[in-house]
């Protein structure tokens, strides 16, 4: 299990995201985001080398508050060929320099997200070592395994990871609260991840973080 260190980060994750978010096609706020951490979870890298975190942040810079899902990976060295997906670097008080990447472009995160959807991995708490995340629910229907051979596309609606067979794993970068009651997957969905996050008014809502639609199973 990943160890959560009680230490300093310079710059902080929110500082990095404040600079990075306006460059994303799905970002809908102002040029200077006003961010607050609102939720999320971690996944474990089986090799223990890469930190994996799904952060939810709220942004008060636009006409209406918005919540964004930001999957990040943290590495102890640059990821070859991933310069365009680098969010920034941080100095970790225990681990030293860390390279933070948009995790949708990092195969380690994508593999573990698929494992979560298929029930082979468990979401972990953001702030406590060796503790399951509360309220993160995943589901997958059908037989066989999802391919992890994805082409990644960012658009105004989020990030789509598409296999050669046409199966699409879409991450909802702009989060929307689901209606009250049991979560109902979108029509045609064969897998999903849902979770909850805090709202600026000290409330809590939940909705879909990721949805898989089939174009064929690998």
User: Could you tell me the CA-to-CA distances from 16 to 13, 78, 105 in Å, in that order?
Assistant: 5, 16, 17
Handedness of CA 201, 102, 51, 18 (dihedral sign): negative
Domain boundaries in the chain? 9-213
Q: Name the percent of the chain lying above pLDDT 90.
A: 71
Provide the pLDDT confidence category of residue 216 given band limits of 50, 70 and 90.
Answer: very low
What value, to the nearest 5°, has the Cα angle with vertex 25 and ends 35 and 70?
45
What are the residues facing 143 on neighbouring strands?
A: none
Structure tokens belonging to residue 24: 């994303």
**Mean local confidence (pLDDT), 206-214:** 93
Closest alpha carbon to 13 in 44, 41, 45, 35: 35
Residues 53 and 73: their CA atoms lie apart, in Å, by 6
Of 118 and 146, more confident = 118
The CB-based long-range contact list for 30-36 (8 Å cut-off, 24+ gap) reads 30/61, 30/62, 31/61, 32/61, 33/59, 33/61, 34/59, 34/60, 34/61, 35/59, 36/60, 36/200
Range list of β-strands (E), 4-157: 9-10, 35-43, 51-59, 66-75, 86-92, 96-102, 137-140, 151-155
Question: Across the chain, which distance is largest between two alpha carbons, in Å?
Answer: 46
Token pair for 179:
């209606």
Q: Could you tell me the pLDDT band of residue 62, with boundaries at 50, 70 and 90?
A: confident
In whole angstroms, give the CA distance from residue 52 to residue 72. Answer: 6
Calculate what percentage of the chain has a pLDDT beyond 70. 94
Mean pLDDT of 49-54: 96
pTM of the entire structure?
Answer: 0.92
Is residue 147 within 8 A of residue 167, CB to CB? The reply is: yes
> Which residue is associated with the tokens 């991450």?
171
Total number of residues shown for the chain = 218
Residue 112's SS3 state is helix
């Amino acid at each position: 299990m990943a160890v959560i260190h009680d230490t300093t980060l310079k710059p902080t994750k929110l500082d990095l995201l404040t600079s990075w978010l306006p460059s994303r096609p799905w970002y809908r706020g102002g040029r200077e985001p006003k961010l607050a951490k609102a939720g999320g979870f971690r996944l474990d890298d089986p090799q223990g080398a890469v930190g994996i975190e799904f952060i939810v942040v709220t942004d008060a810079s636009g006409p209406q508050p918005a919540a964004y899902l930001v999957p990040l990976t943290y590495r102890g060295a640059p990821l070859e060929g991933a310069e365009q997906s680098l969010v920034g670097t941080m100095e970790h008080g225990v681990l030293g320099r860390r390279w933070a990447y948009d995790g949708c472009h990092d195969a380690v995160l994508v593999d573990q997200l698929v494992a979560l959807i298929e029930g082979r991995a468990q979401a972990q708490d953001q702030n406590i070592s060796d503790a399951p995340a509360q309220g993160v629910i995943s589901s997958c229907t059908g037989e066989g395994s999802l391919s992890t051979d994805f082409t990644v596309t960012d658009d105004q609606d989020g990030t789509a990871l598409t296999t050669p067979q046409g199966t699409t794993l879409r991450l909802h970068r702009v989060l929307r609260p689901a209606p009250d009651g049991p979560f109902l997957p979108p029509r045609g969905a064969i897998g999903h991840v849902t979770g909850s996050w805090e709202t600026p008014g000290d409330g809590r809502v939940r909705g879909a973080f990721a949805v898989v639609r089939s174009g064929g199973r690998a």
